[in-house]
């Protein structure tokens, strides 16, 4: 069952949304301020967030920023403003979609279903190991939502490791898979790329090890 967080300070609207979503097969958690929404998001796993932009405590935009930084869960914004500039600003801030108040219930349900469908397609392009996520379509890498800024070769090496986390890769394996050429014994090329990946990971998670050197053989995820 998909779980949705409703962040809406108007009690009547919050109750209406909770009833609507529950009747349509969703599990629902309610929050009544931006601060509470961020706290609940940090402590529970949600599949989608309905987020009112005019919230007490943390503003809706601030809550949106923190939620999107923490993960890739889709956010549908609830807003009373429909001007072009406001909508563009909202989407640039990270919202996946929006609906203006007052809204039609059937339209809201349809927009939620679209987000779940899009998210399912996007998930097929993701590789996840521990708290590292790689997006194979966009060549983006993240740890806990923070970008790794990997080069193309670095991304491909890390993707190879993460797709086969128990396999020990020799330098010959890596060179032939990533460079698609015969390995001529140039250890430095592989070592430099592995070192750069480790450094980029360590900038975000300095106390954790992700790539292990298996002495005399090669490298693997740890």
The structure tokens listed for 193 are 């790329």
Tokens 């890769």 sit at which residue? 169
Q: Nearest 5°: phi and psi at 192?
A: -65, -45
Set out the domains of the chain in order of their start, with CATH numbers.
Answer: 3-123 (3.40.50.2300), 126-221 (1.10.10.10)
The structure tokens listed for 112 are 């939620």
- Model-level pTM? 0.58
105 half-sphere exposure, CB direction, 13 A CA radius: 10
Whether the per-residue pLDDT at 155 is higher than 90: the answer is yes
Helices in the chain by DSSP H: which ranges?
Answer: 11-23, 34-43, 60-70, 84-92, 105-123, 152-163, 171-174, 187-204
Predicted confidence (pLDDT) per residue in 55-110, tens digit: 999 888 889 988 887 777 899 999 887 656 666 777 777 888 989 888 999 999 99
What is the mean predicted confidence (pLDDT) over 133-154?
87
Percent of the chain with pLDDT over 90: 46
């Amino acid at each position: 069952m998909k779980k949705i967080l409703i962040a809406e300070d108007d009690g009547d609207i919050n109750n209406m949304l909770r009833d609507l979503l529950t009747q349509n097969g969703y599990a629902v958690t309610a929050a009544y301020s931006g601060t509470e929404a961020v706290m609940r998001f940090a402590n529970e796993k949600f599949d989608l967030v309905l987020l009112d932009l005019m919230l007490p405590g943390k503003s809706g935009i601030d809550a949106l920023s923190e939620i999107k930084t923490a993960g890739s869960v889709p956010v549908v914004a609830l807003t009373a403003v429909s001007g072009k500039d406001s909508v563009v600003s909202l989407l640039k801030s990270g919202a996946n979609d929006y609906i203006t108040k007052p809204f039609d219930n059937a339209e809201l349900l349809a927009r939620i279903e679209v987000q779940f469908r899009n998210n399912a397609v996007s998930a097929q392009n993701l590789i996840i190991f521990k708290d590292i996520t790689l997006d194979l379509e966009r060549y983006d890498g993240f740890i806990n939502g923070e970008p790794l800024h990997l080069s193309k070769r670095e991304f491909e090496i890390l993707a190879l490791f993460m797709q086969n986390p128990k396999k020990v890769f020799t330098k010959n394996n890596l060179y032939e898979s990533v460079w698609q050429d015969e390995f001529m014994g140039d250890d430095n090329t592989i070592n430099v790329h592995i070192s750069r990946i480790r450094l980029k990971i360590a900038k975000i998670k300095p106390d954790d090890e992700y790539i292990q050197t298996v002495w005399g053989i090669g490298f693997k995820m740890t």
